[in-house]
Structure 1
Amino acid sequence: MPLPDDDHTGSRIREQRRLARLTQRELADRIPYSLSLLNQVECGARPATPGFVAAVAHALRVDSSKLTGPPAVTALPADRLLALVAPIREALDCFDLGPNPDLADSRPEPVLVTEADALCQQVRATHLRAAAKALPALIVELTHLVWTAPSTAGWRALSSAYRTAHDVALKLDHPDLARVALDRMGWAAGQASDPCIEAVQRYKRATLWRSATSTPLITSGQALLAGQTSREALAVTGQLHLGLATVAAKAEDATAVESHLAAAREMADRVGGEAADVHWLSFGRVNVRLHELGTAIVLNDFDRALGQARSIKLPASTLTSRRARYLVDRALAEMEAGSAKTSLRYLAEARKVAPEQTRHLPGTRATIRGLVHMSRRAPDSLGGMALWVGM
């Protein structure tokens, strides 16, 4: 079943009505408007007047903003979210201010390098809040370090911290801040003179906001690694091909998608196993298969996506963030196949595995919305899931 492509007040009224487990007749009986008008508003044939919206909101016991506009997807209250994000923004702003006079007793380089790796692992395990709280102080200390005792290891660690800041900001629905973090990452990568890190930075820029510059950014990253055959370079090159496959899927170019997936498979075979220790990536055969699933979904080839999803067996070592993404993709594919109960089960499993990440993934909302439209009366479990994501 295709996802509904309407996004208007009437469609949101229909969603909220079904989440309240009411038929159109039952809702019409609770408002001073006819069943015929309600039906026409829900299907988009008639506009919803302010009075109509107010009456429906009162009957459904929801705020009218849930009916008149897309709800916010931020998981945390605004004040708590700001408390996490604002210190990261301030830390990113200190990159060109030189040594910090308040850090005469800063921790030694090996300790900071180790912490940068640890925070990266926290994000990959979807412990976003813990990483967000520790990140600003680390960035400040690493910035002081590279100004007072610059070294390749220090610049690489700072690049890692900036990459972590990007991931946290993006997962907390702050794409503008994520872009600033990537700019800082590019600056630090250039100072480290590490082409692999520079290539990863361009890949992340390309996939943050897919636009006309996405393909040139990734191919410029590939050019930085041309002729290099180290395991590190092969893993990054393979990841760049996966990025190009994703961009091609967005452009509905199935031929280019398969070409880049094939190149990524070749790189995975040459790398052997999962390269989980290469510049915060985890490239390998499993990652390629997950991208095959993801690109099939983007191309709306749900028969193929479902077959791929059902054939993937994730090893126990799979990153939590990657496992959650697979479960959401699997839920979406099952929903499209009409398997509502199975879809909801995989969505619930994703929520259990990585609640912070699952709440923010676009596929989560798309799946819940599709399940609501499939249900004459949404079951309590689906209603609870919709409430959890803010629908």
Structure 2
Amino acid sequence: MSDSTVGKRIAAQRKIARFTQAKLGRVAGYSTSMVSKVEQGREAPSDGFVAAVARALDTAPERLTGGPPWTVIEEDGPLEGIGELRAILAEGQYVTATEPPPLAHLAAGMDAIDLAYRNDQGRVAMAQLPAVLRALYGALHAAPADHRAPVYTLLAAAYYTAQRLLRRFGFLSLVPTALDRLDWSSADADDPLYAALAKVERARILMYHDGGELGMRLVEQSLDLIEGATPGANAVRGFAHLSGSVVAARGLRPGIAAEHIAHARELAPLMHGESDLYGTLFGPANVGIHACAVALESGEPDRAAREGAALVLPPGLAPPRAGHHWQDVARANLLAGRPGDALIALRRAREVAPQQTRLHPSVRETYLGIVAAERRRSESTGAFGAWLRITP
């Protein structure tokens, strides 16, 4: 088995901290058996487990997951834009601006970036975003004080996309800074929904740091900010409920998770499909996807696997959203003792969203769990591992 698994890293950090498996389980809130299975590669760890263990060991979640998978990323060439985006975040309020084109051109540029992100073309989005950000600061400096609200709205949209891109590529340590800039820009935007989105996204990143209690409060605060029943308001409201369901499930609050899912189900028919508004992808199918995810996070992998496999996803669903669903179904099948079905689900994830699937740390851990469960590699298992660049 590879020595670069989450389980092996947890074991190494646990020993550095002089924790026994029993003590780590007690401090993190999990059983000793669970800790042992993860360390031995017999069970794929959930994001909630990794967050709780990282906090218990006083280390960064990326240290356990391996951080950005540079080896995989760079096989397709340099990740253009990440260095420049990192510099912009470091510059904070002192960003070096560039000469801006008309605001309509910048809005069209953001639309193109968001479309690339939606369609599993994160490299394209990352390469284009920094230039738009610097030009937006140029537009902000050039606009009269009483005409800056539309620029702030575009800046909020840019930072909203920036933190999503950073999560996709594994740069979790940069996400809080991007969220700080989202908070700053949304405060003066002429679209109040970005302030609500900022709180939801903060709640989502807090899950990586075992911050579920604060995350649930932020989701409620976000819902309080959303007014009206426009399509955009309902999309953001539904997105907040879906995010709240996962935050609650990871915090072992199944009742609260179920309430959020129920509210989302009531709103979903208003979308007439899966909405692209604000990048929420909110609609009936996404509610079904999150219901399966909540079952998985709540300790019901068999139900998550059955309902997830039976869920019919619409053809136009964003590829990363569909890919993430099949990744969850794979992990659910593995936990339910069906490694063969888990591999089938991983292959479906690869078909619909190859870039996201190859980068996601849970996919690698699920694959290694499949190998451990099978005790030997079948031809199809070996082929998938070769695609992930893993040699168990």
TM-score, length-scaled by structure 1: 0.76
Q: Does 1:382 align with 2:376?
A: no
Amino acid corresponding to residue 105 of structure 2 in structure 1: V
In structure 2, relative to structure 1, the CA distance for the partners of 1:345 and 1:219 (3 Å cut) is: same
In the alignment of these two chains, the number of paired residues is 329
Q: CA deviation at 1:263?
A: 1.1
Counting only pairs closer than 5 Å after superposition, residues 338-353 of structure 1 correspond to structure 2 as 338-353=337-352
Structure 2 portions without partners, runs of 5+? 13-38, 42-63
| Aligned position for 2:304 | 305
Q: What residue is the counterpart of 2:219 in the other structure?
A: 218
Question: 1:193-232 maps to which residues of 2 (within 5 A)?
Answer: 193-210=190-207, 211=211, 212-225=213-226, 228-232=228-232
Partner SS state of residue 282, structure 1: coil
Distance of 2:334 and 2:190 partners within structure 1: 47
CA contact (8 A) 2:305 2:330 kept: no
* Distance in 2 between residues matched to 1:275 and 1:72, nearest whole Å: 31
Classify the secondary structure of the residue corresponding to 2:246: helix
Distance in 1 of aligned mates of 2:121 and 2:163: 14
2:117 to 123, 128, 143: 123
Deviation at 1:283, TM superposition (A): 1.0
Distance 1:314 1:90, change over 3 A: same
Structure 1 counterpart of 2:169: 172
Cα deviation for residue 9 of structure 1 reads: 8.5
Pick the structure with greater CA Rg.
Answer: 1
Give runs of aligned pairs for residues 25-174 of structure 1, distance below 5 A: 74=69, 75-77=72-74, 84-94=81-91, 96-97=93-94, 100=97, 103=99, 106-149=100-143, 150-174=147-171
Letter in structure 2 aligned against 1:217: L
How many percent identity over aligned positions? Answer: 27
- Matched residue of 2:347: which SS? helix
What is the CA–CA distance in structure 1 between the aligned matches of 2:170 and 2:192, rounded to whole Å? 29
| C-alpha distance in structure 2 between counterparts of 1:174 and 1:10, whole Å | 19
Q: Are 1:239 and 2:243 counterparts?
A: no
Corresponding residue number in structure 2 for 1:65 = none
Q: What is the CA-CA distance between 1:385 and the residue it aligns to? A: 3.0
Report matched runs for 1:292-331 at 5 Å. 292-331=291-330
> How far apart are 1:138 and its partner, in Å?
0.7
Aligned partner of residue 173 in structure 2, secondary structure: helix
Q: 1:43 to 1:109 in 2, by over 3 A?
A: closer
Aligned pairs (5 A) from 1:8-23: 8=8
SS of 2:316's equivalent? Answer: coil
Q: Distance in 2 between matches of 1:99 and 1:7?
A: 42
How far apart are the structure 2 equivalents of 1:282 and 1:10? 34
Letter in 2 for 1:160: A
Which structure 1 segments of 5+ residues have no match?
Answer: 13-41, 45-68
Give a deviation string over 1:324-382, Cα, whole Å, max 9, x none.
11121222233334443332222123223222211233431232122112112112432
1:98–1:144 CA contact under 8 A, matched in 2: no
The CA distance in 1 between the partners of 2:364 and 2:76, in whole Å, is: 23
Cα deviation digits, residues 134-177 of structure 1 (max 9, x gap): 11101101111122124443222221111111111111111121
Q: Distance in 2 between matches of 1:300 and 1:81?
A: 39
Bigger relative contact order, structure 1 or 2 (CA pairs below 8 A, ≥6 apart): 1
Aligned counterparts, 1:232-271, within 5 A: 232-269=232-269, 271=270
1:191-232 residue CA offsets vs partner (Å, 9 max, x unmatched): 11432111011100110122032112111111112x523232
Amino acid in the other structure paired with 2:170:
D
Q: Distance in 1 between matches of 2:237 and 2:359?
A: 28
Amino acid in the other structure paired with 1:252: L
Instruction: Flag the 1:345–1:11 CA change in 2: closer, same or farther, 3 A.
Output: farther
Q: CA RMSD in A?
A: 3.0
SS at match of 2:229: coil
When normalised by structure 2's length, the TM-score is 0.76
